[in-house]
């Protein structure tokens, strides 16, 4: 059994929370509460003043930043997490576990096309993650680069800018530097309502977000406190997506959470040495774009989205259906209530 299959075999789906057409289904751990987390998160690390992120040099490089970790613990940086300041705002291209007492170049994408001058020497946390559709497209392009260019973790930067521009036009959210920050500023009143509606529950380690009756994506972590700390950033991500776009991704066909998790579990996996600690796992499955960070034989973070460019037909090959049925039998712990709530009426 793979680490992803193992992680998915120890979860159940809790009752949904909702606001408007956006639903959050908590992913609940079926295991005993874990001991204290062995790593820090970005915001926690920055508060110690022993962790900082800067441009790689005085001249800078758009697709790369430099992280200095002088703490005694590794620091987890989340896929899509936004850093602001320095020469331009960036988002993380993938989830990275920066080793303790180290410095590490980290791959990023620009989400502020119209600025290239320093506002600060170091980056600050924006307190948010990139909107879900943009995260999915970025993740897909990074996976394609890794397959075609011998481990490059760069995104298609033009596609990232196009995604931001598309969302800004949809929301009528302007910015003098074309910064994605404008999306969050324009949507703030409604985002505050999402934050009030979506709250962590006991033993929650992840989320599945559903919109207009269709699954959009999921994030799963190895620890309850990781989810608790990062949930507001995920709510921002899916909240902006819900506000910016009237409908979820056009090709979404997994209107059932159990089916979606089956697609994730039955996906093929390309494993690579991660930047920093662990292994970088890229999901290669039908209708799914996803990735995971594995370290010490456990999944630290798993993220998966329905792929807007995937085949739109509901039909499945016999082998795909068989793999999914096997996956469902192995997990077998998603409640009847959750299955019903995850379906489109």
Whether 181 has a pLDDT exceeding 70, the answer reads yes
Which region among 156-165, 216-225, 238-247, 330-339 has the lowest average model confidence (pLDDT)? Answer: 330-339
Cα-based distances in Å from 243 to 132, 168, 184, 343: 11, 11, 10, 21
Per residue in 202-237, pLDDT (tens digit) is: 999 999 999 988 899 999 999 999 999 999 999 999
Dihedral Cα 192, 193, 197, 201, nearest 10 deg: 0
Q: Calculate Rg over the CA atoms of the chain.
A: 19
How many domains are there within the chain?
1
Place of tokens 């977000």: 209
Residues of the chain with pLDDT > 70, as a percent, come to 86
Per residue in 226-269, pLDDT (tens digit) is: 999 999 999 999 999 999 987 665 434 445 899 999 999 999 99
Per residue in 2-30, pLDDT (tens digit) is: 999 999 999 999 999 999 999 999 999 99
Whether 96 has a pLDDT exceeding 50, the answer reads yes
Parent domain of 315: 3-341
Per residue in 23-51, pLDDT (tens digit) is: 999 999 998 767 789 999 999 999 999 99
In DSSP terms, 221 is beta-bridged to 301
Q: How far apart are CA 305 and CA 66, in angstroms?
A: 28
Q: How far apart are CA 240 and CA 228, in angstroms?
A: 19
pTM of the predicted structure, to 2 decimals:
0.88
Q: Is 297 left (phi over 0), alpha (psi -120 to 50) or beta?
A: left
Model confidence at 336, pLDDT cuts 50, 70, 90, reads very low
Place of tokens 């921002």: 236
pLDDT score, position 322: 39
Q: Are 303 and 219 in contact (CB under 8 A)?
A: yes
Per residue in 284-328, pLDDT (tens digit) is: 887 899 999 999 999 999 999 998 765 443 433 333 333 433 443
One DSSP character per residue, 233-253 reads HHHHHHHHHHHH-SSS-TT--
Whether 333 has a pLDDT exceeding 90, the answer reads no
Residues shown for the chain: 345
Per residue in 129-141, pLDDT (tens digit) is: 999 999 999 999 9
The rounded mean pLDDT for the chain is: 88
Q: Which residues contact 174 (CB under 8 A, 6 or more apart)?
A: 168, 182
Place of tokens 């576990």: 97
Q: Are 45 and 69 in contact (CB under 8 A)?
A: yes
Q: Could you say which DSSP state residue 16 is in?
A: P
């Amino acid at each position: 059994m793979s680490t992803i299959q193992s992680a998915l075999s120890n979860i159940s789906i809790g009752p949904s929370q909702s606001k408007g057409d956006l639903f959050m289904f908590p992913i609940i751990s079926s295991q005993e509460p874990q001991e204290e987390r062995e790593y820090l998160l970005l915001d926690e690390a920055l508060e110690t003043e022993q962790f900082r992120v800067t441009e790689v040099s005085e001249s800078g490089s758009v697709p790369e930043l430099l992280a200095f970790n002088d703490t005694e613990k590794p620091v987890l940086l989340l896929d899509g997490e936004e850093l602001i300041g320095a020469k331009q705002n960036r988002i993380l291209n993938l989830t990275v576990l920066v080793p303790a007492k180290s410095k590490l170049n980290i791959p990023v994408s620009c989400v502020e096309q119209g600025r290239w001058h320093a506002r600060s020497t170091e980056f600050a946390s924006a307190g948010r993650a990139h909107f879900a559709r943009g995260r999915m497209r970025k993740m897909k392009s990074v996976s394609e680069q890794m397959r075609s260019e011998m481990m490059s973790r760069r995104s298609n930067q033009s596609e990232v800018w196009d995604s931001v521009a598309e969302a800004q036009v949809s929301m009528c959210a302007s910015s003098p530097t074309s910064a994605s920050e404008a999306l969050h500023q324009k949507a703030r009143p409604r985002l505050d309502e999402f934050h009030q509606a979506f709250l962590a529950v006991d033993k929650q380690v992840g989320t599945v977000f559903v919109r207009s009756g269709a699954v959009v994506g999921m994030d799963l972590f190895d620890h309850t406190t990781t989810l608790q700390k990062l949930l507001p950033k995920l709510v921002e991500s899916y909240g902006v997506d819900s506000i910016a776009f009237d409908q979820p991704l056009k090709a979404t066909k997994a209107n059932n959470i159990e089916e979606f998790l089956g697609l994730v579990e039955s996906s093929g996996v390309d494993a690579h040495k991660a930047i920093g600690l662990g292994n970088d796992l890229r999901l290669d499955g039908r209708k799914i774009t996803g990735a995971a960070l594995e370290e010490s034989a456990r999944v630290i973070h798993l993220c998966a989205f329905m792929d807007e460019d995937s085949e739109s037909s509901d039909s499945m090959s016999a082998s795909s259906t068989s793999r999914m049925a096997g996956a469902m039998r192995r997990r077998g712990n998603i409640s009847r209530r959750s299955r019903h709530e995850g379906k489109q009426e």
